[in-house]
């Protein structure tokens, strides 16, 4: 049965698209065939048809079907098909091969995307062949050795001299009593041997069953590996296309949605969650080259100096809202429900302990986002700064050299942008004399990046 390589998904706008798990190609047009037409068919077109076949010993074969089902087949024995393997040699062979490779191939049969599965199949076939050859050579050597021993024994028997013993019996013969005793011993040994062989055989079968059954359990870890690989390929696009961590997923997804790796993740909520996680890592990670109060332009701050730049209590909540998709009917509960991971990551409860205060601030801020466009909000922000100039200007003048350095020091990384914003907020006195400004929702009507740009323009006009 040909492998199904095209999968159907729904795009964010509702349209269907098709993704090729082999070539990583995506298209809006439904392919003529959803299967890999380049490969010949193995078995029938029905589900569960043979996909991988491994020759064992004594005419037996291990068959792995589409969907991962396994059975054993022997053409020599009248096309025997069995779920269990009774051939000792084949059991030993199966116990000797690499189980991890079998796990991967059964996973491929179940739809797991492993690009090099053909190479893996060839490797396993060669491994089966090598082990089979070794086993047959060993068996042949044992047979030869046994035959030699039998010949030696026959020669010894023929060379024996018939002699009369002290008991009056000819040497080399036994009495009837001795024969009966010997027969009983042989029967007992034979029975014990049969029992031991039967137990060993069952043990080998159990080992094979356990190994093959462990493959099923191993598929769970393969799913995890596959998912992690898909996440890695997907999140790599954020850096490659230089997505803006201060923007919303709705806007940024347009930059990458035509790339094949965009479809590594099929659930859009998962895509957004991965994007927000990436934004948070950019937002909080790394070291920043910002101006030191005592030093030169690009001297790196010490950890103590960085700790001095504390965000305001509404800083992170406002950041979450600035990145949200806000509609006319959006309320605080929508923001919280859709951004649970960000609320936890930014520890909103630590900054604003009361849910009532969180909701009150969010409702006021949402009003501005719903009512005013970006340029209008920029004008409102500048107006707010002018209303507080009597306190802002003296602080700027007392730190004039530092302000000049900040203006000259352009930053691009998310962490640097936030750090420079907090540095400016400390200079203008937001955490001291301008507490009312820090608690005013209008101060947060811009995202962090837009706010920094506007503040630097404002400072430039004032020096």
| pLDDT for 59 | 86
The answer on pLDDT for 366 being more than 50 is yes
Q: Does 386 fall in a domain?
A: yes
Residue 175 and residue 167: Cα distance in Å, rounded? 11
Residues 64-108 pLDDT 10s: 887 778 888 887 776 677 788 888 888 888 888 888 788 878 877
Of 226 and 396, the one with more pLDDT: 396
Question: Can you list the alpha helix ranges (DSSP code H) found in 111-175?
Answer: 117-158
Percent of the chain whose pLDDT exceeds 90: 29
| Residue with token string 């000792």 | 88
Query: 424 in a domain, yes or no?
Result: yes
For residues 408-429, give the mean pLDDT. 91
314 in a structural domain? yes
pLDDT tops 70 at residue 235:
yes
Q: Is residue 332 pLDDT above 80, yes or no?
A: yes
Residue 292 placed within a domain: no
* Intra-chain end-to-end CA distance of the chain, in Å: 75
For residue 309, being part of any structural domain is answered with yes
DSSP secondary structure code for residue 29 in this structure: S
Q: Give the per-residue pLDDT at 122.
A: 86
Task: Say yes or no to pLDDT of 55 above 50.
Answer: yes
Give the Cα separation of 40 and 118 in Å (integer). 13
Task: Tell me the C-alpha distance between 262 and 393, whole Å.
Answer: 48
Encode pLDDT of 4-34 as tens digits: 677 777 665 667 777 776 665 777 888 877 7
pLDDT in tens, 137-150: 887 777 666 666 66
Q: Does the pLDDT value for residue 45 go beyond 50?
A: no
Within a domain: 51: no
Please check the confidence at residue 352 and state whether its pLDDT lies above 70: yes
The mean pLDDT value for 183-211 works out to 49
**From start to end of 15-69, where are the E strands?**
16-20, 26-27, 50-55, 60-65
DSSP code per residue over 360-386: HHHHHHHHHHHH--HHHHHHHHHHHHH
| Mean pLDDT confidence for 217-235 | 65
Calculate mean pLDDT across residues 115-129.
85
Can you say whether residue 28 is alpha, beta or left, with left for phi > 0 and alpha for psi between -120 and 50 degrees?
A: alpha
Of 102-116, 143-157, 162-176, 416-430, least confident by mean pLDDT is 162-176
- Domain contains 269: no
**Confidence label for 396 from pLDDT (cuts 50, 70 and 90):** very high
By percentage, how much of the chain surpasses pLDDT 70?
68
Q: What's residue 336's pLDDT?
A: 94
Segment 279-294 mean pLDDT = 55
The total number of structural domains that make up the chain: 1
Q: Which residue range is the domain that position 428 belongs to?
A: 303-462
52 forms bridges with which residues in the sheet? 64
Give mean pLDDT, residues 123-147.
81
pLDDT at 291: 38
Is 90 exceeded by the pLDDT of residue 364? yes
Q: List the one residue out of 195, 340, 165 whose CA is nearest residue 269.
A: 340
What does pLDDT average to over the chain? 76
pLDDT at position 436 is 92
Average pLDDT over residues 105-129: 80
In a domain, 45, yes or no: no
């Amino acid at each position: 049965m040909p492998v199904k390589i095209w999968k159907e998904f729904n795009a964010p706008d509702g349209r269907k698209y098709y993704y090729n798990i082999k070539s990583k190609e995506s298209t809006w047009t439904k392919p003529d065939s959803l299967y890999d037409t380049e490969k010949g068919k193995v078995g029938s077109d029905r589900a569960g048809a043979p996909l991988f076949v491994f020759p064992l010993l004594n005419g037996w074969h291990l068959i792995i079907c589409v969907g991962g089902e396994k059975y054993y087949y022997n053409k020599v024995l009248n096309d025997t098909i069995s779920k269990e393997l009774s051939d000792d040699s084949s059991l030993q062979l199966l116990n000797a091969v690499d189980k991890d490779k079998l796990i991967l191939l059964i996973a491929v049969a179940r739809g797991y995307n492993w690009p090099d599965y053909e190479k893996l199949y060839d490797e396993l076939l060669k491994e089966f062949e090598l082990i089979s050859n070794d086993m047959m050579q060993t068996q042949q050597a044992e047979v030869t050795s046994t035959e030699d021993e039998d010949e030696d024994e026959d020669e010894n028997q023929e060379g024996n001299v018939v002699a009369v013993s002290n008991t009056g019996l000819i040497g080399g013969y036994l009495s009837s009593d001795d024969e009966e005793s010997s027969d009983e011993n042989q029967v007992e040994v034979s029975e014990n041997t049969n029992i031991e062989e039967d137990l060993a055989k069952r043990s080998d079968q159990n080992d094979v069953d356990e190994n093959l059954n462990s493959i099923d359990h191993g598929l769970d870890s393969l799913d995890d590996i596959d998912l992690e690989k898909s996440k890695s390929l997907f999140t790599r696009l954020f850096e490659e296309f230089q997505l803006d961590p201060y923007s919303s997923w709705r806007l940024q997804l347009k930059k990458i949605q035509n790339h094949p790796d965009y479809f590594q993740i099929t659930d859009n909520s998962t895509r957004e969650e991965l994007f927000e996680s990436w934004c948070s890592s950019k937002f909080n990670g790394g070291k920043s080259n910002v101006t030191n109060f005592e030093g030169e332009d690009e001297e790196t701050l010490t950890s103590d100096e960085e700790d001095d730049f504390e965000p305001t209590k509404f800083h992170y909540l406002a950041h979450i809202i600035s990145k949200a998709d806000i509609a006319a009917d959006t309320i605080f509960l929508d923001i919280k429900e859709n951004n649970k991971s960000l609320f936890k990551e930014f520890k909103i409860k630590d900054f604003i302990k009361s849910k009532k205060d969180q909701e009150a601030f969010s409702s006021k801020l949402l009003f501005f986002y719903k009512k005013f466009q970006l340029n209008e909000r920029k004008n409102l922000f500048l107006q707010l700064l002018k209303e507080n100039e009597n306190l802002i200007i003296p602080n700027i003048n007392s730190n004039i050299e530092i302000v000049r350095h900040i203006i000259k020091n352009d930053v691009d990384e998310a962490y640097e942008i936030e750090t420079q914003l907090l540095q400016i907020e400390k200079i203008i006195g937001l955490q001291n004399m301008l507490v009312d400004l820090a608690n005013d929702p209008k101060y947060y009507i811009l995202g962090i990046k837009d706010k920094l740009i506007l503040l630097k323009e404002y400072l430039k006009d004032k020096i």
